[in-house]
Amino acid sequence: MIKKVLTLLFSALFILAGNNVLAKKHPVNRVDPANWFVELPNPNLELIISQEGIGNSTATVNYTGVSVVKTETPTNPNYLYLTLHISKDCKPGIVPIILKKDKKEYLINYELKSRRAKGKYAQGVKPEDLIYLIMPDRFANGDYSNDIIRNTNEPSINRDSMYWRHGGDIKGIINHLDYLQNLGITSLWLNPVQENNQPKTSYHGYAITDHYTIDSRLGSNKDYIALVDSLHARDMKMVMDIVPNHIGNEHYLFKELPSADWVNQWDKFTRTTYRAPTLLDPYVSAKDLKTFNDGWFDYHMPDLNQKNPHVANYLTQSYIWWVETAGVDDFRIDTYAYPDQEYMSKLGKELKEAFPEMNMFGEIWEHGVTVQSFFADGFSSRNDMNSNLPGVIDFQVYNAINDALTKPFGWTDGVARIYYTLAKDILYKDAMRNVTFLDNHDLSRFYSVVGEDIRKFKMGVAFLLTMRGIPSVYYGTEILMTGFSNPDGLVRSDFSGGWKEDKQDKFQASGRTELENEAVNYFSSIANWRKSSEAATNGKLMQFVPEKSIYVYFRYTDSEKVMVVMNAANDAQTLDLKRFDEMTQGKTSGKEISSGKVIDLTKSINLEPWSVQVLELK
| Separation of alpha carbons 37 and 189, rounded Å | 25
| Catalytic positions, written as ranges | 334, 363
> Cβ–Cβ contacts within 10 Å for residue 316, how many?
20
Bridge partners for 503 per DSSP: none
| Separation of alpha carbons 598 and 589, rounded Å | 7
- Who contacts 68 (Cβ-Cβ below 8 Å, separation ≥6)? 59, 60, 61, 82, 83, 84, 85
Give SS3 for 289: helix
Q: What is the number of residues in the chain?
A: 618
Give SS3 for 77: coil
Of 192, 133, 199, 441, nearest to 318 by C-alpha is 192
Exposure string for 211-231, b = 16+ CB within 10 A, e = fewer: bbbbbebbbeeebbbbbbeeb
CA distances to 305, 447, 477, 523 from 595, in Å? 54, 21, 21, 12
- What DSSP string describes 140-160? ----GGGS--TTSSS----TT
Q: What is the 3-state secondary structure (H, E, C) of 204-262?
A: HCCCCCEEEEECCCCCCHHHHHHHHHHHHHCCCEEEEEECCCECCCCCHHHHCCCCHHH
Q: 362 exposed, middle or buried (CB, 10 Å; 0-12, 13-18, 19+)?
A: buried
What is the edge-to-edge ordering of all strands in the sheet holding 79-86? 30-32, 44-50, 79-86, 66-72
Of 296, 215, 213, 204, nearest to 254 by C-alpha is 296
| Separation of alpha carbons 611 and 613, rounded Å | 7
- Who contacts 263 (Cβ-Cβ below 8 Å, separation ≥6)? 254, 257, 302, 303, 304, 305
Of 159, 217, 222, nearest to 193 by C-alpha is 217
- Who contacts 581 (Cβ-Cβ below 8 Å, separation ≥6)? none
Cis before 96? omega within 30: no
